[in-house]
Amino acid sequence: MNNSNEVPLIFEMSSPGRRGYEYPDCDVPSEKVTDLIPSRFLRKKAADLPELSESEVVRHFTQLSRLNYGVDVGFYPLGSCTMKYNPKINEDVAKFAGFQRIHPYQGEETVQGALKLMYELEKYLCEIAGLHRATLQPAAGAHGELTGLMIIRAFHRDRGENHKRQEIIVPDSAHGTNPASAAMCGYRVVEVKSNPRGGVDVLNLRKITGPQTAGLMLTNPNTLGLFEEDIVEIAHIVHQAGGLLYYDGANMNANLGISRPGDMGFDIVHYNLHKTFAAPHGGGGPGSGPIAVTEELEDFLPVPLVSMKDNSYYLDYDRPKSIGKVKSFYGNFLVMVKAYAYIRSLGAQGLLEVSEIAVLNANYLMRQLQKDYHLPFDRSCKHEFVLSAKKQKAKGVRALDIAKRLLDYGFHPPTIYFPLVVEEALMVEPTETESKETLDRFGKAMRKIALEAMENPEILKEAPHHTPLRRLDEVKAVKELDVNWYKRNPSSAM
Ligand SMILES: Cc1ncc(COP(=O)(O)O)c(C=O)c1O
């Protein structure tokens, strides 16, 4: 405990002998247990667990949970993350015993319902992307990227061109996972510059594209929230050079029912089901990053695909050109259930409205804030927009200070310092699930903070003032990470 506002650790509340629950006596003789477990794995003394009553445990964790902030608590405009409200009905459906209690080793004939759901979800995702077939296996967006890149490699290998196509082009505004996935797949990453309107610099792209190009990774709208105006020309350049076009679909919340990556010329698309299709995320998952591909690339998809024959569904492993499996079993199934429930409950018209409202909300907020914050690209945005705290920096206030001050006003801050092409970036993604009143309250707080930056910058530099913990030393937190009770109390270790 460093500070009087802090909740004590559960270990610090321990009182010897206090119990919440007593286990019944073990009915297996102890020598039998010790016979089964090698002695080096046996404890020398009892584990030093905190000793508390049930009500103390419940109150402790309830108190901690109240310090937490999430989409169920308030506005969460974390750009690029699509922190939309996740309807609870999706959770209810994912809890159905028929989904939750099945086992991946069950015979296909006993899980026809689950296979049908996967089969239909694949069809919906293909329809939304304007592509041919999809795999639901990848467990996250970045995992979808890696899978897509493996497919790109398999495609070029099949044509005998893999040895010469060793480069993946990535824009300078790209999400960090794009170059990281390309490098992980063994590719050389080549950066293409942005033009003054925030899109890909087509002249620069022409210069760096050639017989060495395996593909281009792009997100559209890009990480500035701007639609790639030259996408048709970009697709033409890459295809003419023999490369493939990969679509990072993390920003798909802007496009549902409005435009389809397949129609723009993309060959592979990944989705973040845990963003666009309303599965809760943050805190590490589980996620789901299906990828959809053109007919030309279908053969390379991971096995198994869910297919249908004689009115029943089956897992199709008979795909000789497949890149193989990319995840144990079939992916994070319950995330698929939530996405399926979300798509079915909204329908085609509902999905279209999701994106229309997401785009409307972002533009509404952007126009409210552009007087007080520098707007580097003054164009209509899609589902998110990027401001710069350049004006405030002149007063010594950084994007980080603005983010911290927002906590005092009860809001989760936007993403900061990304994309890298914008100085002091503040990336705001309101999503479609927020009301006009919430957007107005956030706009008001942001404008008030802009005023504070001019009149009383010190208040921002020391923010937050009203949170249980004040500003943390983030470097120290990384370099001297201290989250292990036993490390602090070695005598308690086994
Ligand atoms: C534009 C973009 N691409 C890719 C990803 C990676 O997705 P995931 O976090 O599911 O791996 C993200 C995640 O924030 C993203 O915003």
pLDDT tens digit sequence for 404-452: 999 999 999 999 999 999 999 999 999 999 999 999 999 999 999 999 9
For 388, residues 6+ apart whose C-beta sits below 8 A from its C-beta are 373, 374, 375, 376, 399, 422, 423, 424, 425, 426
Q: 382 C-alpha vs ligand 1 centroid, how far in Å?
A: 17
The residue among 231 and 24 whose pLDDT is bigger is: 231
Residue 494 pLDDT? 56
Q: How many Å lie between the centroid of ligand 1 and the Cα of residue 485?
A: 33
Nearest CA to ligand 1 atom 10: 141
Return the ligand 1 atom nearest residue 274 CA: 10
CA-nearest residue, atom 5 of ligand 1: 141
> What is the position in ligand 1's atom list of the atom closest to the CA of 81?
14
Amino acid identity of residue 44, one-letter, is K
- Ligand 1: which residue has its CA nearest to atom 16? 80
Query: Considering the chain, what percentage of its residues have pLDDT values greater than 90?
Result: 86
Q: Which atom of ligand 1 is nearest to the CA of 219?
A: 1
Q: What is the pTM of this model?
A: 0.92
| Domains in the chain, CATH or no CATH each | 88-345 (3.40.640.10), 357-479 (3.90.1150.10)
Q: What is the pLDDT of residues 55-113, one digit of tens each?
A: 999 999 999 998 889 999 999 999 999 999 999 999 999 999 999 999 999 999 999 99
Cα distances (Å, whole numbers) of residue 298 to 294, 305, 322: 6, 10, 9
429 lines ligand 1 (CB under 6 A): no
The per-residue pLDDT for range 460-482, each reduced to its tens digit, is 999 999 998 899 888 998 999 88
Is 177's C-beta closer than 6 angstroms to any atom of ligand 1? Answer: yes
Quick check: 27 pLDDT over 70?
A: yes
- pLDDT score for 284: 66
In this predicted model, which residue has the larger pLDDT, 369 or 4? 369
Check residues 220 and 35 and name the one with the higher pLDDT.
Answer: 220
Instruction: State in Å: Cα 47 to ligand 1 middle.
Output: 40
So what's the pLDDT on residue 23?
86
pLDDT > 60? residue 4: no
* Residue 451 Cα to ligand 1 middle (Å): 33
Mean pLDDT across the chain, nearest whole number?
95
pLDDT score for 1 = 43
Pick from 80, 273, 417, 431 the residue to mutate for probing ligand 1's pocket: most ligand atoms within 8 Å of its CB: 80
What number is the average pLDDT over the span 398-405?
98
pLDDT at 145: 98
Per DSSP, what are the bridge partners of residue 315?
Answer: 306
Distance 420 CA to ligand 1 centre (A): 15
Tokens of 453: 């930056």
pLDDT in tens, 297-347: 999 999 999 999 999 999 999 999 999 999 999 999 999 999 999 999 999
